[in-house]
Amino acid sequence: MTTAQLRTSRPRRVLTVVSILATALLIPSLIYSQAGRIVNSVGKMLPADAAPLARQVIRHMTPEPISLDSSIFPYDTRGTILPFEVLLTRDEDMIPGPGAAERWESNEDATKWTFYLREGARWSDGRPVTAHDFVYAYRRMVDPENANIYAFFYYDLENARDINHGKLADMSQLGIRAVDDLTLIIETDHPAPYLPHVVSFGDAFPVPRWAVEKHGRQWTDGENIVTNSGFKLQEWQRGIQMTFVPDPNYNGPNQPYLEKVIHPFRDRAASNILPYETNEVDVESVDLSEFDRVRNDPVLSKELVRMQDPATWYLFFRTQEPPFNDIRVREAFTRAINREAIARVILRGVASPAYSMLPPGFTDFDGPAYKPIQQYDPPRAAQLMSEAGFPRGRGFPKQELWLRAPDPTTRRVAEAMQTMIKDHLGVDVEVRSADDTAYMNALFGWQMNIGFINFGADYLDPRNMLDMTWRSQPKGAGRQDWTNEEFDSLLQQAIEITAPERRSALYKQAEMKLVSEYAAAFVYHPQGLQLRKPYIKGYARKSDGTVGRRFDYTKIYVGK
């Protein structure tokens, strides 16, 4: 076993004799007179520049969740804290580190992984967190009866695909087992050097079987929920807000500084910065409709941060049914879209044109190589439509362009593409909005002729954005109906080897096939925009001025 294959980390806590005595006496907080340091209600020492304990509260608006059971319903949580700790957690740069597992190791070909769970870890109801909880959770995530639309994320595990597709009924054959309460083994069908990224996915958390069996779909409701992270749900006021507080049962490396996180609810379409300006919230996403006003404001401009966002917005087609089963039609739609204008004018330069699936931030990003295949070319688009039998759009059926719970910016981009398609192809397109649940059901049911959606990287390996998103799947398991045997073969070859250079070459060939077959029109790679009050501390700015994609509530605190 090499050093690279064995990683260990143990939580550290700086304690003085005084703090040990204070904890023993159950004193909720203590001011260190010699240094002005503060310990919060669960014994975490705050940084030297932290504000008093009463001010360690962050307010951040989100849409109200349907549930917090995102391991099965991944779009239910809608941006609130997810109060569960996965095997490995991630830092701001999406690099895995210790979570419920304090160390892990693999065999030489990365097909067998062993995770050693932290001793003394407990659920919020006081029961121990064990390896058996993870086995139950992973089986639950791939069980076809649960219809988890993200089950494909776990297909690396031995037999996961066959179980999820109903070809294998014996759930014990899934490649995950508990050796004892604190030792978990995961085995894969192929070399998976990226498996730490898979198990650090935020929805891959352990699940308390006793709570699920007692409460069913309502097991994450406020009065029923049992969690295992540094935060626990204190209160869920339906239609108003959710409140999270530190969990005194948590003994891991991701204990929070904050005393409280409050998520007031509002609909995504109603998003604006007024609550931030009136000091109702401390963090606020910025829609591009307000970007110019923010950057020209002497106060707000200093509080604006740009977030790295390895993601891609794309227009996909229903390729197995007319009219988009004709590659000429797909190419025509692709070449009718002026990405540069969208990125420059509508997105105010807070995005870059996309010509392929992998975004900047990936080692294998090679957007310029694909630009000639997908770039804006109205004469070519018009010619292709004529060749397909639809000169100037004559005889082409009216189309619906589906959007998922669009914010104002997404709607403006869609309306711009609607105009471009009409102007260059003569095709009428109606923009149709659907909420998250309705959209995703229609997506996996292959009910859309055209849809506009983004996919944000779950981890920075091409496997995530190429294989998991575009590899051929049956209806109900695949996001799109596009299928290509050569593409699938290249992906299969890539996951069977560990040599980085060879894997990279195979993924680039696969992406070229995806782009040149016009499975989608790739439109832009976004950046995130947020306003953060100047007293919010605990995150870092990179050399280019951006901040990490992940807003880590366990590292954030309120400064003086």
CA distance 538 to 515: 40
Three-class SS state of 526: strand
Higher pLDDT, 318 or 20: 318
Quick one: CA dihedral 383, 389, 390, 391, positive or negative?
positive
Residue among 485, 170, 257, 516 nearest 370 (CA) = 516
pLDDT reading at 18 higher than 90: no
CA distance 273 to 532: 11
CATH number of 228-302+533-558: 3.40.190.10
Question: What pTM was estimated for this model as a whole?
Answer: 0.83
Residue positions counted in the chain:
560
Fold for the domain defined by 88-216: Dipeptide-binding Protein; domain 1 (3.90.76)
pLDDT at 244: 98
CA distance 478 to 470: 8
Averaged over 113-123, what is the pLDDT? 98
The pair phi, psi for residue 10, each rounded to 5°, is -125, 140
Averaged over 350-356, what is the pLDDT? 96
DSSP string, 239-272: TTEEEEEE-TT--STT--S-SEEEEEB--GGG--
Higher pLDDT, 337 or 495: 337
Same topology, domains 228-302+533-558 and 311-526? Answer is: no
pLDDT at 549: 79
pLDDT reading at 496 higher than 90: no
pLDDT reading at 455 higher than 60: yes
pLDDT at 331: 98
Higher pLDDT, 205 or 23: 205
pLDDT reading at 5 higher than 50: no
Averaged over 465-469, what is the pLDDT? 92
pLDDT reading at 415 higher than 60: yes
Q: CATH second-level architecture of 311-526?
A: Roll (3.10)
Q: In whole numbers, what is the pLDDT of the chain averaged over residues?
A: 91
Model pLDDT for residues 294-346, shown as the tens digit of each residue: 999 999 999 999 998 899 999 999 999 999 999 999 999 999 999 999 999 99
Model pLDDT for residues 35-91, shown as the tens digit of each residue: 568 999 999 999 999 999 999 999 999 999 999 999 999 989 988 999 999 999 998
CA distance 345 to 363: 28
CA distance 197 to 229: 19
Residue 7's identity, in one-letter code, is R
354: its two tokens = 């996309």
pLDDT at 289: 86
Spans of all domains in the chain: 3-53, 88-216, 228-302+533-558, 311-526
CA distance 347 to 379: 25
pLDDT at 35: 54
Q: What is the 3-state secondary structure (H, E, C) of 364-425?
A: CCCHHHHHHHHCCCHHHHHHHHHHCCCHHHCCCCCEEEEEECCCHHHHHHHHHHHHHHHHHH
